[in-house]
Amino acid sequence: MEKTKVLFVCLGNICRSPAAESIFLKMINEKGIDDQFIVDSAGTGSWHVGKKADSRMRSTAKQRGINIKSIARQINRNDFDQFDFIVTMDNSNFNNVCNFKSRESSNSNIKIIKIQSFAYLFKKYDEVPDPYFGGDDGFENVLDILEDSVGGFLKSISQF
């Protein structure tokens, strides 16, 4: 059985996308379906490549039982051939990923989507806000939003 491959993308790959990746991993693990997926995260920017996720995000997530282990990397042209879904955190990164794909890949099967398209409880948010320059409550808010929308994505993935 071929695995479903999902890549979560934000700007620097140290807050939102590693949190989304880890939430998704936790959800599929709890459902006992983690062997059916390959999951990763990346950033559109290169500032944090090789670094762990933001310590504030790791700490806030850990309090919810979410273990963020990923190391930041930048999206690359191979990602468009390796993944089935590229799931973006905001409109800017959605546009950047779409533009990058149009320049670098002819793969017409890849689905580039916005995570907030799958929100149930947090529909008022068109994007997942970047908590990097804010306080601790911003990280809590992002995790609330992502738990909702990542759960919605997982529920709807069968319709693709």
For residues 60 and 136, the answer to whether their CB atoms sit within 8 Å is yes
Give the neighbor-by-neighbor strand order of the sheet with 4-10. Answer: 37-43, 4-10, 85-88, 111-114
Mark whether 15 is an active-site residue: no
* pLDDT recorded at residue 1: 74
What SS3 class is residue 48?
coil
Mark whether 136 is an active-site residue: no
* pLDDT recorded at residue 19: 98
Report pTM.
0.96
Q: Catalytic residue, from 40, 90, 130, 148: name it.
A: 130
* pLDDT recorded at residue 91: 98
Provide the residue ranges of all domains of the chain, joining segments of one domain with +: 4-159
* pLDDT recorded at residue 160: 47
Separation between Cα atoms, residue 58 and residue 100, nearest integer Å: 29
* pLDDT recorded at residue 142: 98
Separation between Cα atoms, residue 63 and residue 85, nearest integer Å: 28
Mark whether 10 is an active-site residue: yes
The single residue listed with the structure tokens 């939430």 is 23
- Give the contacts of 58 (CB within 8 A, at least 6 positions apart): 52, 68
Q: Catalytic residue, from 16, 79, 90, 148: name it.
A: 16
* CATH hierarchy code of domain 4-159: 3.40.50.2300
Separation between Cα atoms, residue 49 and residue 42, nearest integer Å: 9
Q: Catalytic residue, from 10, 58, 79, 90: name it.
A: 10
Q: What is the mean pLDDT of each run of 10 residues along the chain (160 residues)?
A: 95 98 97 96 97 98 97 97 97 97 88 97 96 93 98 84
